[in-house]
Amino acid sequence: MKRTLYLSLILVWFVMAVWALVVAGLSTPDHVQAANPIQVTPPVSNAITLQVQTSTDDTSVRVVTKENLYDWAYLRIGTSETPYINGFRFQNVTIPAGSRIVEARLRLYKGEWHTQYPIQLTIQAEASANAQTFSNEYPLASERARTAARVAWTISQPPPNLSWFESPDITSVVQEVVDQPGWQAGNALVILLASTEENEADHYLDALSYDFRPEFAPQLEIIYVSSTPVPTSTPTVTPTPTITPTPEPGRLAIEQAKPLACNTRVADDTRQWGDNVQVYTGCRPVWAETGPEAVFRLELPFDNTDVLINVYPQHTDEDLDIFLLTSAYPVDCLQGADASLWEPGLDAGVYYVAVDGYDGAADAFTLTASCQVNFENSLYLPVIRRND
C-alpha cells in the first residue's frame, strides 16, 4: 500500500514537473530578449540620368537617301522633304541584368526651328544587349534591329524654345533591352525615334545635338528596381535636423529662389516672402522698395541672349517692380523696371529676378520671361535649307 502510494506521488510530481516546463516554454521572462530577426530589405528604386557622350552617339538619318548626319549641330525630328529616324546611344548603363524598369523617358533640348504640328513619332530601341555607335562603319540607325515594344509619341504643340521636353513613358522599350540575353551593367543602349507614315511633309522640329554643345545632348532618365534584394539587419537611424537658411538682411534670399525658365510664366505672391532689400543700389538707388520681394533664378544657356520680363499684379493699384541681378547683393543689379524689363545681349549664366514692392506694396502676381538668342555663328544655318 505504501509502495503504491509512493509510486502515485512520484507520478503526480512527474506530471506537475512536465506541466511546469510546458508553461515555462509558452512564456518568455521579461529579462530574456528574443533574438533580432534578420529582415530582408525590399528592392530599392534607383534613378539614373544618362546623356549622349560623343559626336557619333546621336544622329539623324534621312530614310530615303540613307544619309547619316551624326555630325550635325541639331537633330531633325519628324519629316521635312524626307522622313527621319533618329538614334541616341547611351553608354555605361548601370542597370544590372534582371532588373525591373519602373519608368523611363527620353529628354531632348528644343532648338529655335520648327514647322508644322502635330508630329507623329514612334519610339523603339535597338534589340541589342550592347549597341554600337553611329559612325559610318556600323549600320545606320534606320537599318538596325528594333524591339517589339514601341511607344507612340504625338507632339501636338511646339515645346518652348531652348528648353528640355520629354517623351511619354518608354518603360516597355527599355525593359526589352535589359531582358536581352547578354545584357549586363555597363553596356550601351540605343533609343530609336522614327517619323511615322502619318506625318506630312514639313512636320518636324529641331532638337540640339552633342555637336551643338555637349550639355544639351539627348538624355535618358530611368527609374529601376534591382532584382536581387540584400538581407540586412534593421538599422537604427538617427534623424538629422533640417536647417533652414535664414536670409541675410540687405541681400536677396537666393537660397529660397524659385526656378524661372525662358519662355514660361509663373504665379506667386510677394506677401509670402520677406522684406530683405529696400534699395537696389546698382540700378535704382532712389526707389524705395520697402515691400517684400519674391526671388527667382533664371539660367541662360547661351551668350548674347535678349531677355524680356513682365510682371502683372493681381491688383493694379499695387506697384510691383522688377529687378535683374547677377548675385544676391543689390549693388549687382543690372536693371530695374516698373512693369516690363528688357535687357539685351546677356551672357550665359545664372541671374536672379526680384519682384519687389514700391513703398510697401505687396500682392499676388504673374511673371513671364521671354528669351531670344542671337547666334553669331553659322552652326544653325542648315536648319532653314528647304531641301532638307
> pLDDT tens per residue, the chain (388 residues)?
444 444 454 554 555 555 555 445 544 444 444 445 555 555 668 999 999 999 999 999 999 999 999 999 999 999 999 999 999 999 999 999 999 999 999 999 998 788 899 999 999 999 999 999 999 999 999 999 999 999 999 999 988 888 899 999 999 999 999 999 999 999 999 999 999 999 889 999 999 999 999 999 999 999 999 865 544 444 545 555 554 455 566 899 999 999 999 888 899 999 999 999 999 999 998 899 999 999 999 999 889 999 999 999 999 889 999 999 999 999 999 999 998 999 999 999 999 999 999 999 999 999 999 888 887 654 443 433 334 4
Residue 22: helix, strand or coil by DSSP?
Answer: helix
> What gap in Å lies between CA 67 and CA 381, rounded to an integer?
18
> What gap in Å lies between CA 365 and CA 362, rounded to an integer?
9
**Residue 68, CA distances (Å) to 80, 87, 148, 202 in order:** 16, 10, 24, 20
Domain final position from 207, 226, 245: 226
Number of C-alpha atoms within 13 angstroms, CB side, residue 136?
A: 5
Does 31 map to a domain?
A: no
One domain, residues 313 and 191: no
CATH number assigned to the domain comprising residue 52: 2.60.120
Does 11 map to a domain?
A: no
One domain, residues 219 and 277: no
Residue 383: predicted pLDDT:
39
One domain, residues 138 and 53: yes
pTM over 0.75: no
Does 324 map to a domain?
A: yes
One domain, residues 209 and 338: no
One domain, residues 222 and 142: yes
> What gap in Å lies between CA 76 and CA 83, rounded to an integer?
9
Residue 319: predicted pLDDT:
93
Does 166 map to a domain?
A: yes
Domain final position from 226, 245, 272: 226
Cα 301 from chain centroid (whole Å):
16
One domain, residues 108 and 186: yes
One domain, residues 51 and 173: yes
**Domain count along the chain:** 2
Which residues form the domain of 343? 254-373
One domain, residues 131 and 184: yes
Does 262 map to a domain?
A: yes
Does 127 map to a domain?
A: yes
Domain final position from 211, 226, 241: 226
Residue 162: predicted pLDDT:
84
One domain, residues 191 and 264: no
Q: Which residues pair with 100 in a beta bridge?
A: 225
Does 2 map to a domain?
A: no
Percentages (nearest 5) of helix, strand, coil residues in the chain = 15, 40, 45
Q: Among candidates 279, 277, 357, which has minimal Cα distance to 319?
A: 357
DSSP secondary structure, 51-101, as one string: E--SGGGEEEEETTTTEE-TT-SEEEEEESSSBEEEEEEEEEE---TT-EE
One domain, residues 131 and 279: no
One domain, residues 207 and 167: yes
Residue 26: predicted pLDDT:
46
Residue 386: helix, strand or coil by DSSP?
Answer: coil
One domain, residues 218 and 261: no
CATH number assigned to the domain comprising residue 258: 2.60.120.380
Does 236 map to a domain?
A: no
